[in-house]
Each structure stands twice: as structure tokens, then as C-alpha cells.
Structure 1
Amino acid sequence: MISINTELSLKAIKLEDQAMLFALMQRVYKHAYQDFWTDEGDWYLDLCYNSENLKKELARDGSHYFFVEYQGLSIGILKYDFPFSPKETDIPNAMKLHRLYLDQSVHGNGIAKQLMQHIEKIAKDRKLDFIWLEAMSSKLQAKRFYEKLGYEWILTYQLGFVRLHPEVRGIQIMKKKV
């Protein structure tokens, strides 16, 4: 358990947590993204949070995967990987913020900002040069949040998922010097 403050902590996700992870993301991800998908995101949730994929993600060197706990409840997930550069462009000596999803009920409480400060500290402690992430082009609230924290747009590309509505397939790579 990693304590961020008295109310906020990170609990490492283990393979035996797969059912709990899937149920949490069924609620959190679907609330935010179900309108992006022809099947409300069921295919994507199964792709990302099935047992085999979780096993692969947990086995990767440099992968750090957590439940976000707030006031004793699991309210989301945080995953980051380092060193990691995107295949679309070179960002050397970098950390990827792979997943940050929080339950709608805790939005606006500063939790995401605290988590971003936490990963920045880790990146600095590891002497990494950049943190990068991918944000859906049509999720303006998320893009504004990252921009406020100093992340800059690098490039935009299109996701090829056929169940994703064509008009929301744009995804932006953003990075920040740490």
C-alpha cells in the first residue's frame, strides 16, 4: 500500500484481483466512455481487463498497476510504465501514464491532480525526462486537465477499433518534461 495522504492510497493490483478490477472498470469506464462504442465498451473492457491480459500487464518489467483507494473505497485505477516510449514518436527516457480512471462520484476532489503529482515525483526520482499519455481527442475535459498540468500535444492518430464510433477514434499523445 502506498499512502498519498490520509484519505488517498494506492493498492497494488494482483492477478487474483481480476474480477474486482473488471467490475470496477465496468462501472467507471462505461460511465465515461459507453457512448464512444457500438457495444457500450463491452469488447474493450474484455480486451483490457480479462485474466490473460492482466497477467501479461503484471508480468511486464517497469509496469506499475494500482487500485486507487479513497476513504477506504476502491474508486479507480492508476497504471504507469517506465521506461516506455510510444511507437508513433520517440519520447526517450520516459514514463507512460497508461491508465488513470476515477469514479465520477469523486471528480472535482483533486484526486487526479494528487495522483499526477505522485507519478511526477516517481519520474523525477527515477531521473526520467518525460511523462507521456494518450487522451481521446473528443474528451475535452481530460485534455484541459492535462494541459493545466503542463502537458503539451505532440501528435494525433486514429484508433483502429471497429466497435469505436469513427468520429471519436482520434487520440492525442501528450507529454510533459519533468
Structure 2
Amino acid sequence: MISIREATIEDIPLLQELGMKTYREHFSEIWTATGMQNFLNEDFSTREMQKSIESPAHHCWLIAFDETNHAVGYSKVNWSKPMPLPGQAGSELQKIYFLKSQAGKGYGKQLLQLIHQYAKDRKEGSIWLDVLKSNTSAQRFYENCGFEALGEIPFSTDKADIGMVVMRCDLSR
């Protein structure tokens, strides 16, 4: 069981450390070392994180802690965001990552259930995300949580053209 809370400005260093570690653990094979570092420096810049944490009407950062109160995962949701495929908007689940050592413990499902509730409370019609086309295990996880694949969009790193699958979960059900 995990405990989850919304992140504050004081959590930025923790989110940066956790974000960079989890991203490296899961995606180091799709970047060069330099490309990865450049991406992480931009994605987890203090300025950008502060702007988003200070805008709760538009963004929500959540941190998950294990029973010993160690941070094991996090998520970032962007409220009322247009989808990359035309015609719809909803809550974008931009990030949901856990340390590899915490995989298979049901933590992702717990965090996703809370995000569902937050989105419903905000009267969002859906949650959408994009996931690497090659990450079939994540796609299966999201399908088991009620998401359906809608189509593909391009995505490239400094190493390869990979592609993403856009998935959506209807919250009106």
C-alpha cells in the first residue's frame, strides 16, 4: 500500500531526483547519454516545475510513498488538455512512473485510481495519455485499467524514431 499526496514547491528537488532516476531506469535505451541528459535537464528544470506546481488549475503533481515513507513514484496530470488526435480534450496523464524496484506491487493502479477520482471531481470527460509504441506491457496495463488505443503519433529521440500510441479512458461510464 502506498500513500499519495499532491506535490508542493518544496518537493521539487525530490521530484527532480525521482523523475530523472525513473526515466533513466525505463528509457535509457532510446536515448544517447547526451540526449537523455539534455531531455531531463529541460523536462525537470526547476523553473518549469515551479510554474506547473504553482498552477493547480492546469496541472497536478502527485508523489507516491511506500510504507516506510520513501518516495517510490510520481505522476503529472495536465487538466483539460487537447488531445494530439483531433476533436477531444481531457485530463492528460503526462507522467506516471515508479522506480523499477517497485514494479508489480499494484502501486500504478492505486495512483491511477486517485487520478481518475480527481479527474471526475473536476468534471473531466476523459483521461488520455501517450505511450511508446514499443512499450506493449504499459499498453496492456492501461487497457486493463479501461483505456483504449485511439491511434498513433510520431515521437523521436536523438537516437531513433519510435512513435507513440494515444490512449483514452472515458470517465462518463
TM-score bracket, normalised by the shorter chain, equals 0.7 to 0.9
Q: Hey, what does 1:3 align to over in structure 2?
A: none
Structure 2 residue corresponding to 1:35, chosen from 17, 29, 34: 29
Q: Hey, what does 1:69 align to over in structure 2?
A: 65
Q: Hey, what does 2:122 align to over in structure 1?
A: 126
Distance 1:18 1:114 in 2: 22
Q: Hey, what does 1:86 align to over in structure 2?
A: 83
- Segments of 5+ residues of structure 1 without an aligned counterpart are 1-6
Structure 1 residue corresponding to 2:154, chosen from 155, 158, 169: 158
Distance 2:85 2:143 in 1: 20
Q: Hey, what does 2:53 align to over in structure 1?
A: 58
Q: Deviations over 1:23-50 (max 9, x none)?
A: 2222211111001101272121111111
Q: What is the aligned length?
A: 168
Root-mean-square deviation (CA), in Å?
1.8
Distance 1:104 1:42 in 2: 19
Tell me if the contact between 2:52 and 2:58 (Cα under 8 Å) persists in the aligned partners. Answer: no
The Cα of 1:132 is off from its aligned counterpart by: 0.5
Structure 2 residue corresponding to 1:15, chosen from 9, 16, 37: 9
- Secondary structure of the residue aligned to 2:80 is coil
Q: Hey, what does 1:47 align to over in structure 2?
A: 42
Tell me if the contact between 1:18 and 1:50 (Cα under 8 Å) persists in the aligned partners. Answer: no
Q: Deviations over 1:41-81 (max 9, x none)?
A: 21211111111111222233321112211211101111112
Structure 2 residue corresponding to 1:145, chosen from 128, 136, 141: 141
- Secondary structure of the residue aligned to 2:152 is strand
Distance 1:38 1:19 in 2: 24
Q: Hey, what does 1:4 align to over in structure 2?
A: none
